[in-house]
Structure 1
Amino acid sequence: MTIRTVVWGENIHEQTNAVVRGIYPDGMHSTIAAALNAGDGIEATTATLQEPEHGLSVERLAGTDVLVWWGHKDHGAVADEVVERVARRVFEGMGLIVLHSGHFSKPFKRLMGTPCALKWREAGERERIWTVNPGHPIAAGLPESFVLENEEMYGEFFSVPEPLETVFISWFAGGEVFRSGLTWRRGAGNIFYFRPGHETYPTYQDANVQTVIRNAVKWAYNPMPAHIGVHDAPNVPVEQALEPITERGPKLHQSGEEGYK
């Protein structure tokens, strides 16, 4: 079994900011993909905002088991057609891992249906990430807590839907806390949000962070065939009812006619 994974990167700051370029000369997306490819069972490729269709054509997504998303500076540049394409694949069973400032990305907000807002501070603070669900597959091989010496602070309230599971909680030197590892399911697709990853710090070179993302990809993978029927809303004729029934009363639609959507 190989999990076909696409790591999507906005790829703007790597081109325009010397600090970011110095840390990630080949882009954050390439660093994340290399970490995923270093383990067993994952085949990671990359896509960026600048590519045609942002590298996420219908065909590319159809062959993607898990999509990893990082964006920050220009969420609005992502075409709505591609956003709907991503959401459709998640409903069908593709896993989605959203990293750091991807909380404001169009696909994440589309799937959450909420503002996805939070408090933040860019001060290079120490972040301690606590594993609060040690039995969860995403936490496999991780210590009780681990530290990132420099990170951007994210603080509560995080306006997302109540998660299925909380795997990590972060504490920052300034005193704030944040639910930094959360899971949801939308349709047949598993979604995981992981907080760390500000571009001016080498967060994605950290071994524990790489372990989290690798575990998350394996957790999010759905081995079942794409559940394309999730989009259907068929009008079932009376004669196809599982039990015999007699049609009675007025109706808006004729047999087999599509309903209102």
Structure 2
Amino acid sequence: MLNVTIWNENQHEKKDERVRELYPEGIHGAIASFVQKEDYNIKTATLDEAEHGLTREVLENTDVLLWWGHIAHDQVEDEIVQRVTQRVLDGMGLIVLHSGHFSKVFKKLMGTSCDLKWREADEKERIWVVDLSHPIAEGLGEYIELEREEMYGEHFDIPTPDELVFVSWFEGGEVFRSGCTFKRGNGKIFYFRPGHETYPTYHNKDVQKVIQNAVKWAAPVDRKRPVYGNAKPLEVISAT
């Protein structure tokens, strides 16, 4: 059984009728509906819950955490950020979606500003698969085309990804590294760009397929973290 927690700040849904119409169960509810599998235990959590829904118990029982945030990054408590970061280092998978690039969690794990160019102009996005053999790209064609999306453009201030799976082109001319993987400690991280709240992006079957694949890819491996600090020798040291 894979334990998956889907975190969404759930603020736009309370303030914007367009978002409520697109995602009546919230963005977290929409994602939960297509991530769900028989052998998955799915939970959702939101900003306004106690400890943002990410208690120690919840995180200790989470194998893969998905993160969507936008207008309330600064409201996420630093203690929770540290808690999530430690769980990633211990082996929990993390999938950061769209504007989650600017979350405290992602910036802490990347160690950079994670800033970028952006524009809302109802423009076409074409997401090219550039790593054809990567498991996150399984089942896709050469590209995913979204009729309308928010533009994110380079330069994207992140460390060089361990793997680059997708690159986006936008109608206005910009390009963007839209699907990036990273390893931190025992954990795996995937950043996936599309998902602006006023567009029906999470209803797109190919976008859903990417996220489904990413959850499977990010699942922890079955091993303990190394033991750090002063170490006793494995062999007899002749000098002693």
Q: TM-score range by the shorter chain?
A: over 0.9
Q: Which residue of 2 aligns with 1:22?
A: 21
Deviation at 1:235, TM superposition (A): 2.7
Aligned: 1:243 with 2:236: yes
Q: Which residue of 2 aligns with 1:151?
A: 149
- Unmatched runs of 5 consecutive residues or more in structure 2: none
Q: Whole-Å Cα distance in 1 between the matches of residues 187 and 82 of structure 2?
A: 14
Q: 1:160 aligns with which of 148, 158, 161?
A: 158
Deviation at 1:234, TM superposition (A): 2.7
Matches within 5 A, 1:48-197: 48-197=46-195
Q: Whole-Å Cα distance in 2 between the matches of residues 67 and 235 of structure 1?
A: 32
Deviation at 1:26, TM superposition (A): 1.0
SS of 1:89 mapped into structure 2? helix
Q: Whole-Å Cα distance in 2 between the matches of residues 151 and 222 of structure 1?
A: 32
Q: Which residue of 1 aligns with 2:5?
A: 6
* Count of residues in Structure 1 that have an aligned counterpart in Structure 2: 240
Q: Whole-Å Cα distance in 1 between the matches of residues 162 and 154 of structure 2?
A: 18
Deviation at 1:146, TM superposition (A): 1.7
Alignment CA distance shift 1:141-1:41 (3 Å): farther
Deviation at 1:233, TM superposition (A): 3.9
Larger Rg: 1
SS of 2:211 mapped into structure 1? helix
Q: Whole-Å Cα distance in 2 between the matches of residues 117 and 245 of structure 1?
A: 53
Q: State percent identity of aligned pairs.
A: 56
Q: Which residue of 2 aligns with 1:250?
A: none
Q: Whole-Å Cα distance in 1 between the matches of residues 19 and 93 of structure 2?
A: 28
SS of 1:128 mapped into structure 2? strand
Please identify runs of 4+ aligned residues in structure 1 that moved more than 4 A: none
The amino acid that maps onto 2:230 is N
Q: Whole-Å Cα distance in 2 between the matches of residues 148 and 41 of structure 1?
A: 30
Q: 2:197 aligns with which of 196, 199, 206?
A: 199
SS of 1:152 mapped into structure 2? strand
TM-score, length basis structure 1: 0.88
Q: Whole-Å Cα distance in 2 between the matches of residues 36 and 226 of structure 1?
A: 27
The amino acid that maps onto 1:7 is I
The amino acid that maps onto 2:20 is R
TM-score, length basis structure 2: 0.96
Q: Whole-Å Cα distance in 2 between the matches of residues 225 and 63 of structure 1?
A: 16
Q: 1:234 aligns with which of 224, 229, 232?
A: 229
Give the root-mean-square deviation of aligned CA atoms.
1.4
Q: Which residue of 1 aligns with 2:41?
A: 43
SS of 1:153 mapped into structure 2? strand
SS of 1:244 mapped into structure 2? coil
